[in-house]
Amino acid sequence: MVLSKKHLEFLEKHEVCRLATASKDAIPHATPVIYALDGENLIIAVDYDTKKFANLRENQNVSLVVDEFRPNKAVMIQGRCEIYEKGKEYLRLLQILFDKFAFYRNNPWGEGESPILKVVAQKAVSWGLRE
């Protein structure tokens, strides 16, 4: 288990992270996105015509951070991103997003309309959390 109980508790209390991707040439790109948890995995919906999605097509390594400024607390995760566009797993992940976010429920979409990312943590570092 990469994420500790404290990490998961912290992540459950938040819904925005900063997702960092990089192109095949290692040019970084960071954007805020909303996420839901699926066990230890972070689930994120993106649009097809974004730089982050273009980067992920070239390089599935990602990093993200969920943080608070006062008091200073954060969880930083490095991992691999799996991309889903259709199928049984896509629909399962889509339901997780619909369950968490009213905006998504009120503006639903289906297979092939918006990719869903599953960030599989390989390393996690935190600060300000009591382990």
Q: Which residues pair with 28 in a beta bridge?
A: 22
Per the structure, how many domains does the chain have? 1
| CATH number for 78 | 2.30.110.10
At 45-66, the pLDDT tens digits run: 999 999 999 999 999 999 999 9
| In the predicted structure, residue 130 carries a pLDDT above the cut 90 | no
At 15-51, the pLDDT tens digits run: 999 999 999 999 999 999 999 999 999 999 999 999 9
DSSP string, 60-82: -EEEEEEEETTTTEEEEEEEEEE
Q: Which residue, among 22, 81, 75, has the nearest Cα to 46 in the 3D structure?
A: 81
Q: How far is CA 116 from CA 8, 9, 87, 127, in A?
A: 20, 23, 11, 28
pLDDT band per the 50, 70, 90 thresholds, residue 1 = confident
pLDDT at 131 (0 to 100): 54
Residue type, 84: Y
Cα atoms in the Cβ-side hemisphere of radius 13 Å centred on 81: 27
- The boundaries of the domain holding residue 94 are 5-127
Rounded to two decimals, what is the model's pTM?
0.93
At 74-125, the pLDDT tens digits run: 999 999 999 999 999 999 999 999 999 999 999 999 999 999 999 999 999 9
**Is the Cβ–Cβ distance between 23 and 16 less than 8 Å?**
no
Mean residue pLDDT of the chain comes to 96
- Burial of residue 71 (CB within 10 Å: 0-12, 13-18, 19+) is exposed
